[in-house]
Structure 1
Amino acid sequence: MIQTDIKTIPNTKSLRTYTVTLTYPAFRCRYEMEPEKTNFAVMTITYAPNEVIFDFPSFMAYLRSFEDVPISLESAANRVLDDMFERLQPIWARVHVRTEREHGVVIEITAEHGQLSHSRSHASRPDRAE
């Protein structure tokens, strides 16, 4: 079962546009069609925070909770993106998954949501001070 209790902490620089990148080289889940086999992949998550950022230990526990779940890498990438938007409500986020198969075949999946702008207007957030 995928754990969805991703804890968040306040973003003390919410008026600043910046990105956070987490690369998790040990992402694992079960093959959807053959649950006895394990999918191994590198998952890279990049997001532009809004009001909150993820609590790193709880986010890592969330990613590890995929280990025994039969799910395709495509579905896993989109599930992570959806769960991030539900909990963090970032300005923008991208989840990239890369795996290598037999015969040198490389599979890459990218799921993205939101729009990254490099300027944040104080006028749009009058209740926040930098």
Structure 2
Amino acid sequence: MLDAAHRHDATFSMPRPDLLETFPNPYPGRGYEIAMECPEFTSLCPLGGIESDAEELNQLEGGAPDFATMHITYVPGDVCVELKSLKLYLWSFRNDGIFYERAVNRILDDVSAVVKPVWMEVVGDFNIRGGIKSVISARIGTRTG
């Protein structure tokens, strides 16, 4: 639950699910959806340099940033995720070398573990890398309305 005195460290090296906070769902008996979009998601490529044999390029590509828009949609149970804590949690991926698929599934696992939704979907819409656009989605639960 929210703690007004709780302070967050803005320096990260890996995902921090401990940053996620919740508040009571104001309509716990109603099957409504909450949709959030984070257009500034950033992580690092875990395999920097594999696309080129040139030593100079390998050094430049290692740990290159990946950018995405993360879409998180869910039907809440008893609690909802607090937006500032979600933002800080998503920022905590900034210095993590992680594959797209793992990032999306990790976000789903971490957020759903805290929120315990009826249904949740996370979609990572990643910017083009190497001429290929990737959109990864993962979901849990049963969507109800």
Same fold (TM over 0.5): yes
CA apart distance, 1:104: 5.3
In structure 1, list runs of 5 or more residues that go unmatched: 119-130
Matches within 5 A, 1:18-29: 18-29=32-43
1:67 & 1:103 partners in 2: Cα distance? 20
Identity %: 31
Q: Please tell me whether the aligned partners of residues 46 and 63 of structure 2 are also in contact (alpha carbons under 8 angstroms).
A: no
The worse-fitting range, judged by mean Cα deviation, of 35-44 and 87-96 is: 35-44
1:36 & 1:11 partners in 2: Cα distance? 39
Q: 1:13 aligns with which of 7, 27, 45?
A: 27
- TM-score between the two structures when normalised by the length of structure 2: 0.77
2:120 & 2:85 partners in 1: Cα distance? 18
1:48 aligns with 2:61: no
Matches within 5 A, 1:35-114: 36-101=63-128, 105-114=132-141
Question: Aligned AA for 2:44?
Answer: R
Give me the CA root mean square deviation.
1.3
1:3 maps to 16
**1:40-80 deviations in whole A, cap 9, x for unaligned?**
11111101100000111111100000000010111000000
**1:13-43 deviations in whole A, cap 9, x for unaligned?**
0101111111111110001112520111111
Q: Please tell me whether the aligned partners of residues 27 and 41 of structure 1 are also in contact (alpha carbons under 8 angstroms).
A: yes
- Residues 117 and 102 of structure 1, relative CA distance in 2, 3 Å threshold: closer
Question: Aligned AA for 2:128?
Answer: R
In the alignment of these two chains, the number of paired residues is 118
SS at match of 2:77: coil
- TM-score between the two structures when normalised by the length of structure 1: 0.85
- Residues 103 and 84 of structure 1, relative CA distance in 2, 3 Å threshold: closer
- Residues 70 and 25 of structure 1, relative CA distance in 2, 3 Å threshold: same
